[in-house]
Structure 1
């Protein structure tokens, strides 16, 4: 199987809702197999929306907060398959009015001990105060977590409300002092340097939760895939910004097949509206009239007058929105490129994850300049698949975002 996996670094709700409509349509049509939402949100409102909209968490970095995983009750056990080397944290939130939550740490202290402690609800994600938490139970559990395979975790509650935890078929602890006869919600996380992957989460749309408030956080996604080369080597990857507000869904599969059939290119870009390099070639190909102004070749493929200007971006968006034919011809169907370009919507092959364990830094430069130069493989722009990218940072001041989003939303409704 050669799955098609879309990766999106999320997520600003207002800008991402249009993209969501297109991608759910593409999944329903069988064009895209999986959509991996990397939660790099910076506001609590956006985080709540991403959590609510995109379902279960598959993976979380060590500093990611607790994520809801399921429930437990006397007649229904909590089960999960957790890939983690040490420090699996399980939070038990009793139903009803509870002054305290309970936290089970499995394989803490370098996979040597496990504890049960009470935690105030307000301090659930504040690891700095864990030393003050009341420990109810502690036990030596050497090697309780296996680093080589997903750990089978089962939390059950008997008829008296007493919980028991088993890991890989071994009873870790039973706690008569807890009464969960009314049931409880169960949350999980890693911590203390251990990331957590929940291998039983296989929904087509799933979340991957990065460390919060990290500057240039995108390396976390590339690191995840590069470390799982064997699993993803046959996949075709798409990566798009969260503010893609138009996507020619009729041409998406054609773009994917071109990517699959042309392994000589390291990355292939869609033909993007509001992208400096694409705009230069769009005008060169006769798609953008002179009345819109001159779209120069960005120096080294980066920056330029369009990237800097809200006014120019607005004019370009309005031109595209008013255009009946949403195709923007380039000088050639495929334009080879050996300089930097914005990675608003690109594709790479899973086998190239061999080279994609990127360090923290500028992923765009790495994917379009450093790696193509090192590997002597050009990038390309595919003319027949058009998407529209809402804005770059320097364009934000002066851009009427609400008006443009409303216009693109109306276009989406007419197309889907």
Structure 2
């Protein structure tokens, strides 16, 4: 199987809701197989929306807060399979709300001990436990195996007493705790340990990065490169969360071109509001001179469009007013050897062998450093058009609400006709 996996670094609700409708349609049509939502949100409101809107959590960075995973009752045990080196944390939150919550630490202290403590629900957003002493601990050397998906089972007996098994071994049972009404279960990693929940196979799934990192995107590339064997046959798409138009009719052609032309390292869509694409669109006569001159950005970066809310607004208005939603380039494919914005790009899974990026400018790495090192060009594909709402310097002064309303109406018209 050669799955098509879309990766999106999320997410701003106001900007991402339009994209969500396009991608769900692409999933429904079988054009895309999986959508991986990387939660790199910067506000509590956006984080709550991403958590509610997009599937179960598959992966959590070591500093990610607790995420809901399931429930346990006297009739139904809680089961999961987890890849983690140490410090698997499980929060047990009673449904009746009349007693404290509990936190199980499995394989803490460098995978040597397991422990239990009482906590409050407010503690679920914090890593500090200074005021919560352990109420149980025992030596559990090697309880978690880093080489497999560890089987974790928490069950309640007829009185609600919990018992925990890991990889077929009973870790503990706690007669002093009774949960007759069952409990909600939350999980996280911690203390340097990523957590991957291997039983999550939903086509739309969340990957929760460490919060409040200024350049968090390396976490996604690290995840995929460490799992090269699982993804080597895939075609990866990556799009910004503020892509507000997507030519679904030609998305399959774009994917096929990417698969059939492995000599390119990165292939970009033909993007509205992208400095390099705008230069070539105007060279081809697709953008009239009345919109102003769209110069070739120096070295492929920055330029007058990137800096100007007014120019971006005029360009979006022109595109929204066109009957044909395309801006052809001078040729079907533009070979490119400079930097370009990575608003919607594609790469081959086998090229993950080169993509173990550190904390860095991922755009420069993917479009300049790596292509130069590998002596492989990048490309822009003319026949697949997407529209990118804004760059940071364009934010102040952009006709944001009006443009989002226009693209929302376009999306609804397109999807109703699809």
Q: TM-score range by the shorter chain?
A: over 0.9
Deviations along 1:64-116, one digit per CA (max 9) or x if unpaired, are 00000000000000000000010000000001224521000000000000001
- Counterparts of 2:205 and 2:122, CA distance in 1: 27
In the TM superposition, 1:21-60 aligns within 5 A as: 21-60=21-60
Deviations along 1:202-252, one digit per CA (max 9) or x if unpaired, are 000000000001001000000000000000000000000000000000000
* 1:127, distance to aligned residue in structure 2 (A): 1.6
Report the equivalent of 1:88: 88
SS of 1:371's partner is helix
SS of 1:143's partner is coil
In the TM superposition, 1:351-370 aligns within 5 A as: 351-370=350-369
- Contact 1:119 1:134 (C-alpha < 8 Å) held by counterparts: no
- Counterparts of 2:370 and 2:364, CA distance in 1: 9
Report the equivalent of 2:4: 4
* 1:55, distance to aligned residue in structure 2 (A): 1.8
- Counterparts of 1:135 and 1:42, CA distance in 2: 33
Deviations along 1:133-188, one digit per CA (max 9) or x if unpaired, are 13111000000000100000000001011000000000000001111110000000
1:16 aligned to 2:16?
Answer: yes
Report the equivalent of 1:284: 283
SS of 2:125's partner is coil
- Counterparts of 2:121 and 2:30, CA distance in 1: 42
- Counterparts of 2:158 and 2:97, CA distance in 1: 21
Question: Which is worse superposed, 195-204 or 114-123?
Answer: 114-123
In the TM superposition, 1:9-408 aligns within 5 A as: 9-128=9-128, 130-408=129-407
- Counterparts of 2:358 and 2:146, CA distance in 1: 24
- Counterparts of 2:17 and 2:131, CA distance in 1: 42
- Counterparts of 1:100 and 1:292, CA distance in 2: 63
* 1:126, distance to aligned residue in structure 2 (A): 1.7
Structure 2 residues not aligned, in runs of 5+: none
Question: What TM-score does the superposition give when structure 1 sets the normalisation length?
Answer: 0.99
- Counterparts of 2:360 and 2:372, CA distance in 1: 18
* 1:332, distance to aligned residue in structure 2 (A): 0.6
- Counterparts of 1:46 and 1:125, CA distance in 2: 16
Question: What value does the CA root-mean-square deviation take over the aligned residues?
Answer: 0.6
- Counterparts of 1:78 and 1:287, CA distance in 2: 58
